[in-house]
């Protein structure tokens, strides 16, 4: 069909390493060429991108679709969440497999089922919530047979997902040997538990109690701990949802000393602040409940600063939506408010508007932090994250002069609320091409259930380059064992 | 007897807040006056201190006498350790009560027995190694009835003394309510355990394996964690044996932000470096085994710098001596080498020589970090730590122009080794007066078993000033609970 | 007369090193004794201080009385400024001698004249604004004959007071050799000049332009520079009016590395923020114009934090008052608004209320940062800054339960405005004794022109302890000159 | 000729953004294609790169060829220096035009002459050493007509090249308006002058006096100053030859806060330490004299760490060679030793061996820091710095398994010494292609005088992206001028 041959003409084609005015020609889901003045026949759909930016589709490294959590399930499943993503210029996401009773393979299979109705490409991280021989073996199986190259450890959620330091150490070692990236949710779960009790004891049961129960100091603590344990094991670390200066400072310090630590801020943490949690309307306040919490004014700007110079590397969303009825489960106790905010549809627009629009970053930086760096970290570049001959045809056309207003009335998520309600952004994704097909054009989605592919992600990404050598260097530096005469 | 009336004439009397040339008159164990030209009768022992420094006797905040540890017992008991201390100008120490099967009161009573042969004043900290209602009640009893105002938590020694974060949080809260100071041994015990296995697996079984198994990054981690949890609870924290830049940096950062954190470097960490652990002679290498380990060159100087400007506050020793036969228990496995070094006798001389002698600190600073600040922190100032009318007559006379060489041949500890063997120091304690009696003079000890007193230390030291107000301030800053209309 | 013998009964006597309930007995301007239950005869004035704090009178290290500046002269001269100080519990201040055409001795003599009508004790710093042989000789004369032990260098005020780095280096060396403390006003004067032009070019001529023209980054720069040059010369440095996190961070870093740097925040910088400069009423906005500027919210609290743990050491005011008519000189151009705010009368109350009242510091800390540390730095302790036998009888009685509201209507400065207008403080100085005489009681001043004494301040304060030794250590560490064979 | 068509077969082609096994086909000096299995005809020179790395030729951002300095002239002119570069895998360099009596255009013309005998491509930075209307106009002319996009300011070399802060501010503003990058040599020249006098006064006249006279604290100072002034002006800054932790820390801090600062370490600073300057043989010691000095052990490794994670961005050499006779000019006075070390030939090998060989960085990182980032910063990417269709055919083939030993006996510089004498490196550039011609193969150079081209570098590189927007944002954030009613 005509949709399999597309020529995008005259736009500014932006890759993370370079941008230039050029045409892009797509055939059968693959980018065939990118250069000025491509000539094609009549059977090709031509899109005029003059004066617009042609960029790799966004990749969201951090989503939770169809997740059962806190006694309910996220309102967006793989189909609705992905449709929203495509309308916002994101063409791939990586979701988190939650094990079934700690069993990784069972969890993976459950997510295979959940994701059958996908309309865009996706991959998986897998959470580790307990430790035994079976978990260790499943990790190997997932890496070697199932396309998994990252595992996540929760230092919070005491009593459910939380792992202790000895488990984390085992996990880090196993990740290292498999070439898989260790990820952490970094908050001190014991202290969060204590903080929650404290708030309830003080009679603070509303959403503001959520923020107050787990202040930045607890995120700073867990980030510092995970980084140092990863250094001790000498394996790369990925810190998900960096929400505070406290955590960012630890990442900056580690990187300055040469440690391979990746920091992922999320859109809500970059752009919002915590005043919403004090809103007297519970429906409004509760929609901002996520963990770690959205922080007071100042944290977001500091995270933007660090992101702009590469101290932090990429932007996720932690998209994990619950509608207002679900949020109301915690009307009497903030501990029961399902944690999560939207963002999968809004991420690209908000980052463009906030950071490119303000001059903090360039358009090439934009591509790097929303797409390319994610593809590199999870080892699927340049198949994803680039507009290069041979890359998957996941492409967006962004009009820098177009504006729109974010609203739950018009968004594509199933949620009845939106944490960015009423926010006006400049720069609009007018066309999204996913897998070589135009799926978003003229404000209209053309998505097909089941058309999304599972993307296997191979281990030993660039972050593992040199680890063997540095281990060998370390060993030879020890001057040990010392030869000693027996007494 | 004549020894109960002493006049020290013409010395430079040094207090932490001021020094001046003056006489000091002592009667019945108490300083009666300190001013120029005191006139006394004939029955008074007169000591000429012209050209010398008259200073409060040292107080060592960190010792282990008669401690059962790692299958043996320290070679210095309360009598021999204290005698050594007095010969070195230290007139009080605070030892650590180790609970008996986790029982605090039983532990306290055991230490009451161990200390009956004391020849100088002493106090106790009490370690917390488990948590239950009994421990919590015992803490109260010890504080209210037994003169205890500090409790210690070990974040290392997995499987024996180590506590987890939830226990630490309970302990911090209890300490706060009792006005007792929480102390931590800060190393990540899970990672140390891992590090030890790693070394053994590498065939590194000698003393160098001790240092390699628990690098500074693990001390930095635990220090960062303890500080942040203490901040979360809003109670003061005392970090014992700060051995590395990593730990010191965390303390500096916390203090800059207004947190009440005390950092105690120890003499070995300030002055030595880890090259000794690589010594091919096991007897030499093993005597330097302590935890956290003595660090590579650079850490000690950085700790001295921080100490000189008040970023760190006082100097201890962690005096915990084992002779060469005991150290040999670990000849095939560094994990079995009893941990500990000497220092109780050498502390005052080494700090004077290294830090006053080099111009890094003044003589008033010297008094502050070796005596006064310890007395203030443990709430016994100005009874101890000062040469003021009414203070206990614990006094030393130091001759800045005299030198001597440290050696196990001449020291007063029972150990057959000394980690400072052969070191020459300038500045010599020529006279020590403890409890109003001359116990060290002309290189001779005149000590009496049982003459030392147990010093009760009241809770709510100056570190607790303002905590109630700052808690109240915090609460009023929350703007919570928010009033919300029920849905 | 009866006023020369005073007994203060039953108060909590606070020194920086200790507080206790005691009586204080004063005779002929000197504290004779401080101990419980002093018995005196009938001819003694007895003040009941039960339930109140008896503390050393405040010492303000930074004032400008009777200063000609920016085409006008401060409205408070030595008499009016000091009277206000006494009403607020400050019993000594140190003012800045401005040279006459660069001539130090001429400047000193001018200030001798200005200060003849003093009603309380005072000392002088002397500014250095040019460099030649005469200046160098005058410095020596002032130190050796006139009681000067500190010199100030302005890195701002291009074209008038500003000095360049080569002059600063000469000055630092000279200060070191004389045992005098080098002080700096730390802002980059070239950049300030540029910033002022920028604002005028933008049409921003009002008081807000003052703040915008000299942002914190310029204070951070000059602080970093002065600290490093002082380190290079190895002499102590005193940074006046630390107004920003940027400057404070530099001081903290230097101190951590063992450098002797003193940081003096001022009350306005600790307590106020810059929003006032945007006030649409010029009279209000202009009264907050001082240099460096009062900073945005956040800086003040960070300075309080650092002050509470000794990272910063003492509190000044930079009291430099102009009335609203004088401020109006700059109604069309912020560059012509005379720089300066009040504070000499309010300092003690504001620090007590803000920092002791909030639990950030203790009462002993309060004495340390408002009085004792200043006396130590300028080498007049314990004559000043202490309630000890032999100290000058400069004493205040503060009632912690009394409150009052600050207002230009009731203050004792001659200014018709007050930057703390309407602020209510808890904790009130009810009695001030200066030089042994009750000068403030029952809300009434009893001051006598000419009764204040000039306090000579000797060189080589405690900050100079060890400098010779550390220089010697440095030289011996160089391993130079290397012996080389001639080619 | 046949040399204009080259096929490189089967190597691992490394770009900064990606590496892959592919062939590279070159025609007429341009890379035509890069993909697997390129088929070509017979007339093509085929190079087998199986098992080897095919990478963009190095670009050295910092050289001094044919420079008159300190009374002599560097021994390497454009031809000899470039030949050496090519033998070491560097195919372009950027040299510094020194003005003639402050005149920029005259300086530029002089360097046009000096560079006529070039055998490889080159560009120019231009130094600014004075300020007047002519300089400002010349800057515009050079940028708009002569291909200059960077200007350098020396904060050291008092009395010759040094500029003061007001000149630097003017320069920064002018650079910003022209889209040219400001570069700084960051040492405090006044203090260096003082330090030199100090050493001479101490009788330390040998090379060790050079290091001692300008310690890291002076580099830290000037770096902090330049960074803050650039922030004040809001223009990008490039710090040349970052030699110390002190300077690197300032860059890291600035970048964390979002400032666009580029840090360029040089090979000597990364790899060497200062012990050589103490060598008793003057010929050896003197060859290590450069400014800022090579630092004590520790600095280099810290710079490597920062470089590995992008805190520092690219590696230069400051190649500035003088032979032993020239160095001997300072045999009696280190101030007269011509400053400079070699490195243009060794840079690529040393960085590969030290950083890739140790596992600190990957091969893509290697390309980034030795070539691509330089091309991006100076706005000539992807013409230079990439192996992409359309890029200049500047290519190297590196054999990771080949080794060689650096020696002045075999190097291609004209100097009779080499600061890396005797160092063995693993990883060897076996072929260098420059401008499409094989110029180094089989250990043989085939270079032609005059074949090198001057590369014009356009202004407004990616570092300028967003500056206008951020300026606009800043202005709109001021809330000024405030509207005020006239009094
Ligand atoms: Zn999470
Ligand atoms: Zn998540
Ligand atoms: Zn311990
Ligand atoms: Zn211990
Ligand atoms: Zn000033
Ligand atoms: Zn001033
Ligand atoms: Zn240079
Ligand atoms: Zn150079």
Contact B258 C360 (CB under 8 A): yes
In chain D, residues 14-43 whose CB comes closer than 8 Å to chain C: none
Q: Write the pLDDT tens digit of every residue in B185-216.
A: 999 999 999 999 999 999 999 999 999 999 99
Under the banding of pLDDT at 50, 70 and 90, the label for residue C4 is: confident
The mean per-residue pLDDT over the stretch A425-439 comes to 98
**Residue B391 in this model has a pLDDT that exceeds 80:** yes
pLDDT of residue C70: 87
C227 alpha carbon to ligand 8 midpoint, in Å? 27
Residues A352 and A425: beta-carbon distance below 8 Å: yes
Res B415 pLDDT > 90: yes
CB neighbours of A147 closer than 8 A, spacing ≥ 6? Answer: A123, A124, A454, A455, A456, A457, A458
CB B352 within 8 A of CB B366: yes
Write the residue in D278, D328, D479 that is nearest to C487 by C-beta: D328
Chain A residues with CB inside 8 Å of B228's CB? Answer: 188, 217-218, 220-221
User: If you measure CA to CA, which chain D residue comes closest to C477?
Assistant: D212
Does residue A234 contact residue A477 with C-beta atoms inside 8 Å? Answer: no
What is the B326 CA–ligand 3 centroid distance (Å)? 19
The answer to whether the CB of C34 falls within 8 A of the CB of C389 is: yes
CA-based nearest distance A162→chain D, Å: 30
Whole-number Cα distances in Å, B482 to A203, A275, A278, B485: 10, 12, 6, 10
Question: Looking at the predicted structure, is the pLDDT value of residue B487 above 70?
Answer: no
pLDDT at C425 over 80: yes
How many residues make up chain D in this entry?
487
Return the SS3 of C180. Answer: coil
Interface contact D104, partner C, CB < 8 A: no
Cα torsion C431, C433, C434, C438: sign: positive
Question: Does residue D310 belong to the interface with chain A, where contact is any CB pair within 8 Å?
Answer: yes
pLDDT category at A159 given cuts 50, 70, 90 is very high
- Please count the other Cβ atoms lying within 10 Å of the Cβ belonging to residue A118: 25
Cβ A337 vs Cβ A320: under 8 Å: no
Average pLDDT over residues B458-480: 97
Site from D224, D245, D257, D332 to mutate, C interface, most C CB atoms within 10 angstroms = D224
**CB proximity list for A105: less than 8 A, separation 6 or greater:** A138, A141, A142
Show residues of chain C in contact with B471, CB under 8 Å.
Answer: 359
Residue showing tokens 């001013």:
B35
Question: Distance between terminal CA atoms of chain D?
Answer: 85
**Distance separating alpha carbons of residues D182 and D128, to the nearest angstrom:** 10
- Give the gap in angstroms from C-alpha C322 to the nearest C-alpha of chain D: 18
Residues C269-295: b if buried by 16+ CB within 10 A, e if exposed: bbbbbbebbbbeebbbbbbbbbbbbbb
pLDDT at B378 over 70: yes
Instruction: Name residues whose C-beta falls within 8 Å of residue D410's C-beta, 6 or more positions apart in sequence.
Output: none
At residue C10, does pLDDT exceed 70?
yes
Put simply, the answer to whether D204 touches C166 (Cβ < 8 Å) is: no
Distances (CA, A) of A296 to A293, A422, B193: 9, 21, 39
CB contact under 8 A, C206 and D479: no
Q: In this predicted structure, what is the pLDDT of residue A485?
A: 81
| Whether pTM exceeds 0.90 | yes
Name the stretches of chain D with pLDDT < 70: 1-3, 486-487
HEC secondary structure over chain A: CHHHEEEEEEEEEEECCEEEEEEEEEECCEEEEEECCCCCCCCCEEEECCCCEEEECEEEEEECCCCEECCEECCCCHHHHHHHHHHCCEEEEEEEECCECCEHHHHHHHHHHHHHHCCCEEEEEEEECCCCHHHHHHHHHHHHHCCCCEEEEECCCCCCCECCHHHHHHHHHHHHHHCCEEEEECCCHHHHHHHHHHHHHCCCCCHHHHHHHCCHHHHHHHHHHHHHHHHHHCCCEEECCCCCHHHHHHHHHHHHCCCCEEECCEHHHHHCCHHHHHCCCHHHHHHCCCCCCCCCCCHHHHHHHHHHCCCCCCCECCECCCCHHHHHHHCCCHHHCCCCECCCCCHHHHHHHHHHCCCCCCHHHHHHHHHHHHHHHCCCCCCCCCCCCCCECCEEEEEEEEEEECCCCCCCCCCCCCCCCCCEEEEEEEEEEECCEEEEECCEECCCCCCCCECCCCCCCHHHCCHHHHHHHHHHHCCCCCCCCCC
pLDDT for res B2: 44
Q: What is the pLDDT of residue D1?
A: 42
Which of chain B's residues have a Cβ under 8 Å away from the Cβ of A472?
none
Q: Where are the beta strands (DSSP E) in D129-173?
A: 150-154
CA quadruple D196, D197, D203, D205: dihedral positive or negative? positive
Q: Is 0.85 exceeded by the ipTM? A: yes
Token code pair at residue A427: 């720069």
Are the C-beta atoms of residues D57 and D371 closer than 8 Å to each other?
A: yes
Task: Summarize the confidence of residues C387-411 as an average pLDDT.
Answer: 98
In the block, residue with structure tokens 């809001």: D234
Q: How confident is the model at residue A2 (pLDDT cuts 50, 70, 90)?
A: very low
Range in C24-28, C350-354, D1-5, D308-312 with the lowest mean pLDDT: D1-5
Sign of CA pseudo-dihedral D386, D389, D391, D394: positive
Three-state secondary structure call for residue C167: helix
Q: Confidence band (pLDDT; 50, 70, 90) for B148? A: very high
The string of pLDDT tens digits covering residues D114-147 is: 999 999 999 999 999 999 999 999 999 999 999 9
Q: What pLDDT, in 10s, does the model give residues B46-92?
A: 999 999 999 999 999 999 999 999 889 999 999 999 999 999 999 99
C54 to chain B, any CB pair closer than 8 A? The answer is no
Closest CA to C174 of C142, C221, C219: C142
- Rounded CA gap, B223 and B253, in Å? 11
Return mean pLDDT, chain C.
97
Helix (H, G, I), strand (E, B) or coil at C61: strand
Asked if residues A228 and B244 have their Cβ atoms less than 8 Å apart, the reply is no
Provide the token pair at A265: 């801020």
Predicted pLDDT at A3: 57
pLDDT tens, A176-234? 999 999 999 999 999 999 999 999 999 999 999 999 999 999 999 999 999 999 999 99
H or E element in which residue B195 lies: helix B189-201
Model pLDDT for residues A361-372, shown as the tens digit of each residue: 999 999 999 999
Out of C188, C194, C206, closest to residue D484 by CB: C206
Residues C122/C94, Cβ–Cβ less than 8 Å: yes
How far is it, in rounded angstroms, from Cα A341 to Cα A319? 6
Distance from C-alpha of A8 to C-alpha of A327, rounded to nearest angstrom:
43
> Is pLDDT of B1 > 50?
no
Give the H/E segment covering residue C191.
Answer: helix C189-201
Question: Confidence class of residue C1 from pLDDT cuts 50, 70 and 90?
Answer: very low
d(CA D372, CA D384): 7
The whole-angstrom distance between B112's CA and the closest CA on chain C is 31
Please tell me the distance in Å from A459's CA to the nearest CA on chain B. 25
Contact C252, C298 (CB under 8 A): no
Report how far ligand 4's centroid is from the alpha carbon of B63 (Å).
6
Degrees (nearest 5) of the Cα angle D59, D172, C294?
Answer: 130
Instruction: Classify each residue of B463-474 as buried b or exposed e, where b means 16 or more C-beta atoms within 10 Å of its C-beta.
Output: bbbbbeebeeee
pLDDT range class, residue C2, cuts 50, 70, 90: very low
Residue A437: pLDDT above 60?
yes
Residue C159 at interface with chain D, using a CB cutoff of 8 Å: no
> Which DSSP symbol is given to D483?
P
Per-residue confidence (pLDDT) for residue A486, from 0 to 100: 67
Does position C39 have pLDDT exceeding 70, yes or no? yes
Handedness of CA D167, D168, D170, D171 (dihedral sign): positive
Three-state DSSP state, B400:
strand
What is the distance between the alpha carbons of residues B407 and B181, in angstroms, rounded to a whole number? 36
What pLDDT does A309 receive? Answer: 98
Q: Which residues of chain A have a CB within 8 Å of the CB of B475? A: 202
Chain D hits for C196, Cβ within 8 Å = none
Supply the DSSP string of B37-67, one letter for each residue: S----TTSEEEE-TTSEEEEPEEEEEE--S-
* Chain D touching partners, 3 or more CB pairs below 8 A: A, C
- Looking at residue A202, what is its pLDDT? 98
Query: Residue B215 Cα, ligand 3 centroid: separation in angstroms?
Result: 15
């Amino acid at each position: 069909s005509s949709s399999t041959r597309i020529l995008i003409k005259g736009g500014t084609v932006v890759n993370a390493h370079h941008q230039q005015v050029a045409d892009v020609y797509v055939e059968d889901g693959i980018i065939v060429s990118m250069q000025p003045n491509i000539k094609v026949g009549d059977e090709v759909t031509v899109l005029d991108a003059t004066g617009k930016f042609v960029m790799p589709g966004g990749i969201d490294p951090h989503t939770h679709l169809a997740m059962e959590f806190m006694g309910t399930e996220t309102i967006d499943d793989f189909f609705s969440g992905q449709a929203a993503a495509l309308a916002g210029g994101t063409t791939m996401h990586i979701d988190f497999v939650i094990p079934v009773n700690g069993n990784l393979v069972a969890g993976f299979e459950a997510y295979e089922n959940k994701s059958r109705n996908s309309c865009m490409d996706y991959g998986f991280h897998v959470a580790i919530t307990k430790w035994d021989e079976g978990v260790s073996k499943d990790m190997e199986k997932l890496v070697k047979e199932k396309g998994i190259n990252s595992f996540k450890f929760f230092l919070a959620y005491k009593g459910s997902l939380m792992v202790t330091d000895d488990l984390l150490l085992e996990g880090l070692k196993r990740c290292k040997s498999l070439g898989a990236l260790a990820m952490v949710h970094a908050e001190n779960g014991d202290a969060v538990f204590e903080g929650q009790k404290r708030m309830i004891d003080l009679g603070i049961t509303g959403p503001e109690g959520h923020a107050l129960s787990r202040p930045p100091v607890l995120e700073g603590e867990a980030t510092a701990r995970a980084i140092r344990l990863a250094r001790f094991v000498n394996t790369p670390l990925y810190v998900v949802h960096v929400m505070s200066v406290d955590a960012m400072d630890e990442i900056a310090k580690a990187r300055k000393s040469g440690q391979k630590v990746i920091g992922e801020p999320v859109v809500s943490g970059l752009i919002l602040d915590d005043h919403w949690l004090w809103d007297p309307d519970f429906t409004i306040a509760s929609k901002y409940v996520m963990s770690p919490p959205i922080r007071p004014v100042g944290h977001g700007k500091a995270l933007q600063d660090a992101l702009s110079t590469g101290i932090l590397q990429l932007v996720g969303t932690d998209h994990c939506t619950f509608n207002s009825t679900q949020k109301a489960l915690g009307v009497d106790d903030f501990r029961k408010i399902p944690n999560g905010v939207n963002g999968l549809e809004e991420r690209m627009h908000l980052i463009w508007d906030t950071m490119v629009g303000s001059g903090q970053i360039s358009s090439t930086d934009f591509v790097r932090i929303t797409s390319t760096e994610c593809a590199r970290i999870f080892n699927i570049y340049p198949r994803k994250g680039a507009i290069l001959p041979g890359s998957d045809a996941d492409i967006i056309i962004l009009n820098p002069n177009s504006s729109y207003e974010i609203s739950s009335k018009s968004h594509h998520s199933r949620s009845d609320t939106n944490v960015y309600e009423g926010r006006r952004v400049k720069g609009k994704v007018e066309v999204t091409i996913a897998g070589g097909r135009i799926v978003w054009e003229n404000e209209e989605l053309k998505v097909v259930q089941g058309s999304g592919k599972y993307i296997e992600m191979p281990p030993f990404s660039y972050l593992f380059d040199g680890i063997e050598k540095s281990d060998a260097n370390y060993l030879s530096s020890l001057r040990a064992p010392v030869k000693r005469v027996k007494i």
